[in-house]
Structure 1
Amino acid sequence: MTPSTPRSVDRPTCDHYDVVIVGSGMGGGTLAHGLKDSGLTVLLVERGGFLPQETENWDPQAVFVDGRYKNAEQWYDASNGTPFHPGTYYYVGGNTKFYGASLVRFRREDFQHTDLAEGPSPAWPVDYDDFAPHYAAAERLYRVHGDLDDPTLARTEPYPFPALEHEDAIARAARGLRDIGLTPSHLSLGVDLRQGGACIKCATCDGFPCRVLAKGDADVCGVRPAVASGAVELLTGAYVARVTTNSAGDRVTGIEYRAGEQTHTVSANSVVVSCGAVNSAALLLRSATDRHPAGLANSSDQVGRNYMVHNNSIMVAINPLRRNKATFQKTLYVNDYYRKGTEDHPYPLGHVQLIGKLQGAMIKGQRPHLPMWALNAATRRSIDWWLFSEDLPDPANRVTLRADGAIQVAWTPNNLATHRVLVREMRRLLRKLGYPIVISESPGIEVNSHQAGTVRAGMDPTSSVLDPDCRAHDVENLFVVDSAFFPSLPVMNPALTIAANALRVAPVIAQTARRSASAGARPAR
């Protein structure tokens, strides 16, 4: 059953809420769901609106060439001042409206210190066992289908729903990988393939919005049930300019937002920032006061620093004599190099998974000089992979604000030698599988779908911004609940960990909102 579009408001119905959440993506949307039964009044604020359900949702030309749904402002590359259009979307549900629904758990060792080729990947202030029950809850919420066929998994309990079966071309690739000694596994996916579910296993899932709302995104699975409960109010079309504080600067008091040409304020017992790693850092920096001159909650000078995205490469393997007739290609991944390297590079290399089936129009923007017939001919004969290796938190990789308030990103990739080895190994393996043409390309600064780390959590207030519960060290009733809190970025898709974390800290946020009432805010319900 397709969920109906919930009612949103263009002005809050109250001037005070127990909790205000800024951002409705995987962090904020899941948190709203986690608070809907708390008895608190919750305002969920989104700068965009609902993404329309329309024919163009599944049109590669409209989505990838015409950029029909791109609505983010320009950001700037700090190295040269060049503007770029980030892979960020402002809609209810945030970037999950376009993600590939890969909902995988981080592994137990991902929360621990790990030595990589270019330095240590730091331990988290929480461990896998802290997350395990919330991973399970998030998997139920987002309708995750999976299989226990990967030996790196830390879990033993079954997935909520069985894994998606490989289509013939993918099953053939899986057999080939097993024959050369690898362990191909079924990818954990959040799609609605329940009995009577809406998913039709189309070719337009990864990178497209879902026209039938069958993708497990934060809008459909998080926001809509939260708003339908009556406990959560959704404000759309509202750009939050700053988080406001009391005169002492030790408590947040609410938010200031713009709707059209008008500026408004809303007060709250607690404020949660869930705008995505870049925008969350930017909002804290914009919220500077005389008590917080370097940005709100930034006494450590870590807000905006340690920006991470995975070292990514897309790898297209082509056999000119073999058509790939798979429609829903993204069902397989390989973790054989997740925690091991090679004889000449004895460090963990990373993770490899299939992506949604490429079509010619999807890569026309990157190859504008090639005719569409050639792109279509190649993609009909390709199997398409995404390779990613861990990058390391570096204080010099950071988000700042320009004098005009625009977002600026300084990013120099690291751990690249490791990624080059992963690319080399996968190229060799795919040729063994019968694909003589293997093309790979790494994206630039504009591809930031796995952004993380800019408001890192830790035990030490001098080197981190948040405590293990995602509460600001400097401000008791301020939380940041998205991938900004990650101390490291393990080489798996981060979405499920963001969702699990939101469910993990929801009770702490509810308790803080109630406690804030006794500290001078209005009473919590």
Structure 2
Amino acid sequence: MTTPATRPEKVDAVIIGAGASGAAAAKVLTEGGMRVVALEKGPWRTKESFGGDELANVNRYNLWPDPLLNPRTSRRDTDSDAEVDLFCPVPQMVGGGTVHWQGWLPRFTENDFRLRSIAGELAGTTLADWPITYAELEPYYDKVEWAFGVSGQAGANSFESFRSRGYPCPPMPQSRYAEKFHFGCEELGWNSFPTPQAALSQPFNGRPATVISAFAQQHGDPSGTRSSALNVFIPDAVATGRYDLRADCYVRELTVDSQGRIKSAVYEDSEGRLVEQEADVFVLACGAVETARLMLLSSSARFPNGLANGSDLVGRNVTFHEYSASVGTFEDPINAWAGGGYVSASSFQFYEHDESRGFVSGGHIAAAGVGIPLPINWGLPGRPTWGAEAKQNDRDHFSHSMAVAMVLHDMPQHDNRVDLDPEVKDAWGLPVARITLQTHQNDIDQGRFLVDRCGEILDAAGAKQVDRVYAEQVTGNCSHQHGTARMGDDPALSVLDRNCRAHEIDNLFVVDGSPFPTATGANPTLTIMANAWRVSDHILSKRAS
């Protein structure tokens, strides 16, 4: 290691990452009295920086990592060559993925935490129960929902698990495409409900109602009214006076002391200077891919295979979800571009495991708008993408099309993993993350089943044409990452304990999606933030004892 230029004063905790999980941990730890330094690789942008640049918004999703500076590689299996790409990218900036999200925040169900017990063994997978229960996490679901002012309707989802109280805000106003979704489900006799959203349907906690914009997903919020880690948790932490958030800082490694505990984070600041920051506790919140990468990069004589990796499980069992959909075209205009996904509708009708279907588990189904900036019907087979024919296609379909999409619950597998690419390096000269991912037959079967149900909703809603788009492999298209440092009670089968502390390092915690033993079939960010809050409460309780 090159000798650092500076060594700032030691603090109580260092959090690496200032996205959903890192910001949640920062809020809880600083409000609990701890002095926290947060190291975020990306910039700290304000709402004013998100508007006005049409070229960046329309021609390039300008929140994504730069593929020249921050590439990844991926391959189908260990016998395939890895290709350079941006597999499952997440914005690297203060606020992380919550800066670009639609903000769908469904809770997991009680059975999500015990799927192995319910479904049994599935050959070729490492399906496992969680070491915690829904009941343990429920108070933290409630805390996050009320901090964010989530808009939803308690009890509308007939498959939801128990709640300690309702949502702080009523559902967002209903869109034309949500109306079609509800009608289709009603015709089929299936339950549907307003999607819980990280958006304010009315003023809440001193913030105005959310401005509903077509440019929601993939884009920052120039109004500052969307609920996100950037707009809620970061200001809460800053207000304590105990939060030192350092943006544009690239952590190269974590060092260990003679006792095998984490001693410091070594990083390059925005000026390219090498800095070593010491702390009592270290919290990783980089996202499941980059957390595994940092642990593997931080090898030493004590941990030759990477931090806390004596079990060779760091990076393994990675899961990514997959969005796939059926697209319907209607005679009447739906204007599915309006609202940008803020005003959605959902169903858990096929969420729980049902052995009679012939596969394990199920997934969340929801109404989705047409994609912004590109119309969703452009991606359908046989549809023109350029020239006069593409323009006519827009006239015929753009305001008349909508999607019903599903969240695939892909199965964890031992050989699906994140490791260090032996050849490709990033702009800082460090090995990039290499993803090895082979799709299990259960994923394909489950995906086809759910896409067919999506199509049935559109048929029942009166669509004149329905195109079913099946996923034949997991591509990482929805920015959901889990499982690379799974939690469990047995150190031989897990990296972290039930409180997300590394089995082998007593001052190292992980609070992003890495601890998840399974991906479940729902958007994970609410659970990630709730778990980060739970883990942070545990850190505070141990500090006080």
1:361 is aligned to 374
Q: Which stretch shows the higher mean deviation, 468-477 or 416-425? A: 416-425
Q: Does 1:95 align with 2:114?
A: no
Residues 398 and 474 from structure 1, CA distance in 2 versus in 1: closer, same or farther, beyond 3 angstroms? same
2:392 & 2:56 partners in 1: Cα distance? 19
Contact 2:485/2:496 (8 A) holds in 1: yes
* Alignment-mate amino acid for residue 379 of structure 1: F
Q: CA deviation at 1:70?
A: 2.3
**SS at structure 1 position matched to 2:21:** helix
1:283 & 1:346 partners in 2: Cα distance? 35
Q: CA deviation at 1:88?
A: 1.7
**SS at structure 2 position matched to 1:409:** strand
Residues 47 and 346 from structure 1, CA distance in 2 versus in 1: closer, same or farther, beyond 3 angstroms? closer
Residues 61-210 of structure 1 mapped to structure 2, 5 A cutoff: 62-63=56-57, 65-72=59-66, 73-78=70-75, 79-86=80-87, 87-112=89-114, 113=116, 114-115=118-119, 121-147=127-153, 148-156=155-163, 157-195=165-203, 197-210=208-221
Q: Which stretch shows the higher mean deviation, 215-224 or 469-478? A: 215-224
1:426 & 1:470 partners in 2: Cα distance? 36
Q: Does 1:488 align with 2:506?
A: no
**Aligned match for 1:258, one of 251, 264, 268:** 268
1:36 is aligned to 30
1:324 is aligned to 334
Contact 1:277/1:452 (8 A) holds in 2: yes
2:316 & 2:357 partners in 1: Cα distance? 32
**SS at structure 2 position matched to 1:402:** strand
Map Cα deviations across residues 44-70 of structure 1 (whole Å, 9 max, x no partner).
Answer: 110111235358648776335323232
Q: CA deviation at 1:485?
A: 0.5
Map Cα deviations across residues 224-263 of structure 1 (whole Å, 9 max, x no partner).
Answer: 22012211110111001111110232x1112000124321
**SS at structure 2 position matched to 1:190:** coil
Map Cα deviations across residues 181-233 of structure 1 (whole Å, 9 max, x no partner).
Answer: 11111111111333261412222222321111222211111112201221111
2:428 is aligned to none
2:378 & 2:317 partners in 1: Cα distance? 30
Residues 470-489 of structure 1 mapped to structure 2, 5 A cutoff: 470-489=500-519
Q: Does 1:406 align with 2:432?
A: yes
Contact 2:180/2:461 (8 A) holds in 1: no
**Aligned match for 1:440, one of 469, 489, 496:** 469
Q: CA deviation at 1:158?
A: 1.2
Q: CA deviation at 1:362?
A: 5.3
Q: CA deviation at 1:474?
A: 0.2
Residues 128 and 449 from structure 1, CA distance in 2 versus in 1: closer, same or farther, beyond 3 angstroms? same
**SS at structure 1 position matched to 2:252:** strand
Q: CA deviation at 1:141?
A: 1.1
**Aligned match for 2:394, one of 366, 376, 392:** 376
Residues 409 and 483 from structure 1, CA distance in 2 versus in 1: closer, same or farther, beyond 3 angstroms? same
Q: CA deviation at 1:383?
A: 1.5
**SS at structure 2 position matched to 1:486:** coil
Q: Which stretch shows the higher mean deviation, 24-33 or 56-65? A: 56-65
2:411 is aligned to 392
Contact 2:327/2:377 (8 A) holds in 1: no
Q: CA deviation at 1:514?
A: 6.5
1:429 is aligned to 457
Q: Unaligned stretches of 5+ in structure 2?
A: 426-430
* Alignment-mate amino acid for residue 380 of structure 1: S
Q: Does 1:239 align with 2:245?
A: no
1:12 & 1:510 partners in 2: Cα distance? 29
Q: CA deviation at 1:145?
A: 1.0
2:410 & 2:537 partners in 1: Cα distance? 32
1:344 & 1:110 partners in 2: Cα distance? 18
2:436 & 2:539 partners in 1: Cα distance? 32
1:400 & 1:283 partners in 2: Cα distance? 10
Q: Which stretch shows the higher mean deviation, 82-91 or 421-430? A: 421-430
1:101 & 1:263 partners in 2: Cα distance? 36
Residues 290 and 159 from structure 1, CA distance in 2 versus in 1: closer, same or farther, beyond 3 angstroms? same
% identical aligned pairs = 27
**Aligned match for 1:349, one of 354, 357, 362:** 362
* TM-score where L is the length of structure 2: 0.86
1:22 is aligned to 16
Q: Which stretch shows the higher mean deviation, 152-161 or 45-54? A: 45-54
* Alignment-mate amino acid for residue 474 of structure 1: E
Q: CA deviation at 1:318?
A: 1.4
2:134 & 2:315 partners in 1: Cα distance? 26
Q: CA deviation at 1:508?
A: 2.1
Contact 1:308/1:453 (8 A) holds in 2: yes
2:145 & 2:249 partners in 1: Cα distance? 30
Map Cα deviations across residues 369-396 of structure 1 (whole Å, 9 max, x no partner).
Answer: 3445245332311122321221111111
Q: CA deviation at 1:77?
A: 1.1
1:224 is aligned to 235
Count of residues in correspondence between the two structures: 503
Residues 100 and 169 from structure 1, CA distance in 2 versus in 1: closer, same or farther, beyond 3 angstroms? closer
